[in-house]
Amino acid sequence: MEELVRPNINTTPVELMPDFQFALSVDCVIFGYDEGVLKVLLIESDLPAYKGQWSLLGDLLRHDEDLDEASYRVLRERTGLTDMFLEQVKTFGAVNRHPAGRVLTTAYLALVNVKDYQLKKKENALQWKPVSEIQTMAFDHRLILDTSLTVLQRKIQEEPIIFNLLEKKFSLRDLQHVFEQILGVEFDRRNFRKKLFTTGLLTDVNEMEQQVRHRPGRLYSFNQKAYEQIKRKTFVGLQF
Amino acid sequence: MEELVRPNINTTPVELMPDFQFALSVDCVIFGYDEGVLKVLLIESDLPAYKGQWSLLGDLLRHDEDLDEASYRVLRERTGLTDMFLEQVKTFGAVNRHPAGRVLTTAYLALVNVKDYQLKKKENALQWKPVSEIQTMAFDHRLILDTSLTVLQRKIQEEPIIFNLLEKKFSLRDLQHVFEQILGVEFDRRNFRKKLFTTGLLTDVNEMEQQVRHRPGRLYSFNQKAYEQIKRKTFVGLQF
DNA sequence: GCTGAATTGTGTACTTTGTACATTATATAT
DNA sequence: ATATATAATGTACAAAGTACACAATTCAGC
C-alpha cells in the first residue's frame, strides 16, 4: 500500500518529517445582535494579498496550546471577553486557501452580548458588520461565515443558546426578533409567547422595559437550571 | 499585543517558521449495520505505545491534498469503497493527544453498507466491532468515537442519511431496527410505518424479502428525488 | 389633558401530529 | 396440519401547532 513506503511517524524522526510542515489557525465567527440586526465582528485583513478586505478574527495555533484554548485566547485578546458561548464549527482544509503556505483553519462560533463587548473594546480596527451587508471577504472567510451561519440557524432551534446574544434581562419582543433575524422568518407573536412560556425556561424578573416610546414589556431571564433538568430527557423523533 | 512580536506568516519565510511544524491526520469513524447490530470498522494500532489496542482508520494529511480528499482516500484505500456517505465531524487538537508529536486529527463520519464492503475488502487486520462492545481505544479514539456517535444520533433524526447503512432495497423492519439500534429506543411498529410512509421518501419496489423464516415483508427503496424537493422547505421551529 | 402611535397582553377554534393499542393474514419449518 | 414468526392494517385520544382580534398601556406631541 502506498502509505507504507512514505515516511511516517513510525519511521522518521519528527523534526525531519515533511508531514510536520502544516500550520493551523483558528478563526472566530463572532456573532452579536445590535439594534435589531445580526452582526459579526470583523477586522480589515493585514495581508497584502487581501488588502482592505474583511477578515474573521483569528490567529495561528501555538505549539503548547489546545485547539479550543486557541479560540478562547483569540476571543479574550481581541474583545476582552472571557465568558462567552464558543463552539467548534468545522475545519477548512483546501490546499490553496492561504497564500502563505499550507494553513488549515478551524472555525469557531461565538455568541456575545454586544453591550458587554462595547465596554471593553480596545481595538478600533474591529467592526461589527451586519451579516446581511457582507459581500466578499479575505481568504475563504466568506465560506466560513456562511457555514457558521447555517450552523447557528440549526443550533438555535435545537438548544437555547440564543440567550447568549441578549442581555441578562430581555423582553419577549427582543427574543422573538433575534430568532426572526437569524432564521429569516416571522413568527406569530401570540404563538411565539405561548411556545416560549411552555418551555419553562423563562423567569419573569418582575421588571419592565425602560426608555421605550410605547407601552413597556415585561423583562425575563433565561433559567439555566430549568434547562439542565429538561435536557436530560433527550427528544427522539424523525423530522425530515 | 503579544502576537505582534511573535514570528508570523507576514514576517518570516515559511520554511523557517515554528508555526509550520504541525502534522494533521484524518480519522474515519466508519459505521455499518450488520446482523442487527451497529458496528464500527477498526484496526489494531501499529504504534508501540498503543500495541494491541483498537484504532480508527486514519492517515496523515498530505501536502497536496484537501482535508476532505484525505478522508475519502483513507476510505477508498482501506475498504475499496468509493461512493459512501462521508462528512466531517470535528477536529481534535489536545496538545498531547499523539505520542509522536503535535498531531491534530479531523474526524470524519462514514456510513457504509457492510454488504458492499465485504465484497471488496483486502485487509484482514480490519474488523467490524459492535459499538456496544468497545471499551478502551488507542489515542483519543474513544472520545472521537463517542462524539461521532452522538453526531450520528442527531443527524439521523434530521436528515434521511440512515439509508446509507442499508442495502438499496430494505424492509421496514430493518429500517426500524437500525433507528432503534442507533438511538437506543424502541418505536411502535404501526406508528413508525405511518410516519415513514407520510414522509413520502419510500418507494415500494414491489418485491418481497427472500429467505426469511416467516411471512416476508415488502421491500422499499429511498426516494432521493422526493427528498431533494422536500428539503428546500426548511423546517423552522423550536424544540428545546 | 387629549389624541395618535406603537406595542403589550391575552384566548379560542381548528388542524395537524403523535401515541396507545389488537387482530387477521401469510410464509416457513417441522 | 400445525406451530412459529412476523406482516399488514385502523381508530380513538392527546398534544402540539396555527390562525386570528381586541382591549390596555405608555409615550410624544399638541
B96 Rama class: left (phi>0) / alpha (psi -120 to 50) / beta: alpha
User: Whole-number Å distance, CA A100 to C1' D5?
Assistant: 66
Q: Which residue is nearest to nucleotide C28 (CA to C1')?
A: B213
Taking contacts as CB-CB distances below 8 angstroms, the residues of chain A near B68 are 93
Weakest-pLDDT range from A79-83, A118-122, A162-166, B137-141? A118-122
pLDDT of amino acid A5: 44
Place A54 in a pLDDT band, splitting at 50, 70 and 90: very high
Going along chain B from its start, the domains and CATH numbers come out as 2-159 (3.90.79.10), 166-240 (1.10.10.10)
DSSP symbol at A238? -
Residues of chain A with pLDDT > 90, as a percent, come to 78
Q: Is the pLDDT of residue B119 over 80?
A: no
Weakest-pLDDT range from A28-42, A44-58, A159-173, B139-153? A44-58
pLDDT of amino acid B135: 95
pLDDT of amino acid B125: 85
Nucleotides on chain C that have an atom closer than 7 A to a protein CB are: 5-12, 18-22, 25-29
Give the residue on A whose Cα is nearest the Cα of B49: A10
Q: Is the pLDDT of residue B218 over 60?
A: yes
pLDDT of amino acid B142: 98
Taking contacts as CB-CB distances below 8 angstroms, the residues of chain B near A104 are 24, 67
Taking contacts as CB-CB distances below 8 angstroms, the residues of chain A near B47 are 9-10
Determine the distance in angstroms separating the CA of B129 from the nearest CA of chain A, rounded to an integer.
24
Distance separating alpha carbons of residues B152 and B134, to the nearest angstrom? 17
Helices of type H across B7-91: 67-79
Q: Tell me the per-residue pLDDT of A152-192, one tens digit each, with 9 for 90 and over.
A: 999 999 999 999 999 999 999 999 999 999 999 999 999 99
Q: With a 7 Å cutoff on the CB, does B206 touch strand D?
A: no
Q: Among candidates A176, A205, A180, A178, which has minimal Cα distance to A190?
A: A176
Q: Which nucleotide has the least CA–C1' distance to A238?
A: C18
Determine the distance in angstroms separating the CA of B150 from the nearest CA of chain A, rounded to an integer.
12
Angle at B24 between CA B21 and CA B30, to 5 degrees: 170
Mean pLDDT over residues A205-210, rounded? 95
β-partners of residue A138 are none
Place A118 in a pLDDT band, splitting at 50, 70 and 90: confident
Q: Is the pLDDT of residue A37 over 50?
A: yes
Weakest-pLDDT range from A10-19, A43-52, B91-100, B220-229? A10-19
* CB nearest B106 (choices: A17, A19, A91): A91
Q: Is the pLDDT of residue A119 over 90?
A: no
pLDDT of amino acid A1: 36
Inter-chain residue contact B104 with A67, CB threshold 8 Å: yes
Distances (CA, A) of A22 to A25, A77, B3, B164: 10, 24, 19, 34
pLDDT of amino acid A84: 96
pLDDT of amino acid B130: 97
Mean pLDDT over residues B184-199, rounded? 96
Question: What's A39-84 look like in SS3?
Answer: EEEEEECCCHHHCCCEECEEEECCCCCCHHHHHHHHHHHHHCCCCC
Determine the distance in angstroms separating the CA of A213 from the nearest CA of chain B, rounded to an integer.
30
- Indicate the average pLDDT of chain B: 91
